[in-house]
Amino acid sequence: MTILSLNHVSQFYPIKQASWWHRQSQTLRAVDNISLTIEKGETVAIVGESGCGKSTLGRIAALLEKPTEGTVYLDGVDVATVKGQSLKALRKRLGLVFQDPYSALNPRMSVDELVGEPLAAHSVGDDAYQRSQVLHVLDSVGLGEEVLGRYPHEFSGGQRQRICIARALVLEPSLIIADEPLSALDVSVQSQILNLFVRLQKTRDLAFLFISHDMAVVNYVADTVVVMYLGKVVEKAPRSTFFSTPAHPYSQALLAAVPTLGNPAKSGGRRRRERGLQGDVPSPINPPSGCAFHPRCTRATDLCRVAPPQSTAFLGDEAHYVACHFPGGEPYAEPDIQGEAV
């Protein structure tokens, strides 16, 4: 069952630059012609460097922004065709978990108000039902009734993120959109929240759109990995395929940056250093011609500089797509991040 479908979605922002001698208008292509689907119970991870368009794509998926081009289907409904109360009802199918649990919670509201706020906003049930639902979701994230009257400043970062997750679950959504939900937490707490996500998905059959730059986290939670660069998808593959046979040089460079344990010679440390990313990310306002990655690619040719690549199935695998004129290369050993986080 398809929960979310993005079809040729683009998001462009006009940029006006003025000086004392002239005024110039340019366009920032934050998301450029992206298509993807998320099935029930599936976790799709979006990865890439800062500024690649991950969060913009997440806002489009969360119905917080209307795309410049393309269509968004949620539970089979074209979002562009609904508005008002119908759109409000559709948003109940989404839960959002933000990057910073410190700023995501209103410091003047108690936990029962924070978690119950979506129920009140959508007029779901009476007071007794709302209280029972709040207690139920708090219990599912490992918090008890004793926290109801407390305020955000009384909790640690991990506890605040649990409150945010409870708020995202209170309307019983079918899709959770998590934008860098671990990056503001201590490492020891990250694994606890990560295991909580995995457990909630199993018990509630949730779909996840998981936005992250941490390859270890992606390898642990994802079913499908989507790699973005300058607003475009450069590779899409099942998790095991992606980590064993990355095909795009950008994907290979991202994996080369993942630290590994053991002897560097045995783990291909020299090859990883050679394939590391060179230079800075180009401006999305004025991207390079041809393949946008060619200024940083060690395999770039004249063809890469003039012709943008098309996304094609890699080695005939219909689940593995890569946008590169010369995909492939040596596969990397999977990072040492197997097993359950502790």
**Confidence category of residue 27, pLDDT binned at 50, 70, 90:** confident
Provide the residue type at 300 as one letter: A
d(CA 31, CA 8): 10
Is the pTM higher than 0.85?
yes
Torsion, CA 130, CA 133, CA 134, CA 137, rounded to 10 = -160
- Whether the predicted pLDDT of 333 surpasses 50: no
* Beta-carbon contacts of residue 83 (< 8 Å; ≥ 6 apart): none
pLDDT value for 19: 59
d(CA 158, CA 154): 12
Q: What is the mean pLDDT of residues 109-115?
A: 96
Q: What is the mean pLDDT of residues 297-321?
A: 90
- Whether the predicted pLDDT of 339 surpasses 80: no
CATH architecture for the domain at 2-12+29-93+173-245+311-323: 3-Layer(aba) Sandwich (3.40)
Strands 317-323 and 311-314, sheet pairing: antiparallel
pLDDT value for 341: 43
* Beta-carbon contacts of residue 35 (< 8 Å; ≥ 6 apart): 6, 7, 8, 9, 70
d(CA 234, CA 246): 11
| DSSP-assigned letters across all residues of 12-62 | EEEEEEE-SS-EEEEEEEEEEEEEEEEETT-EEEEE-STTSSHHHHHHHHT
Q: What is the mean pLDDT of residues 229-248?
A: 94
Contact 89, 123 (CB under 8 A): no
**Confidence category of residue 275, pLDDT binned at 50, 70, 90:** low
d(CA 214, CA 272): 17
Contact 102, 116 (CB under 8 A): no
Q: What is the pLDDT of residues 29-66, one digit of tens each?
A: 999 999 999 999 999 999 998 888 999 999 999 999 99
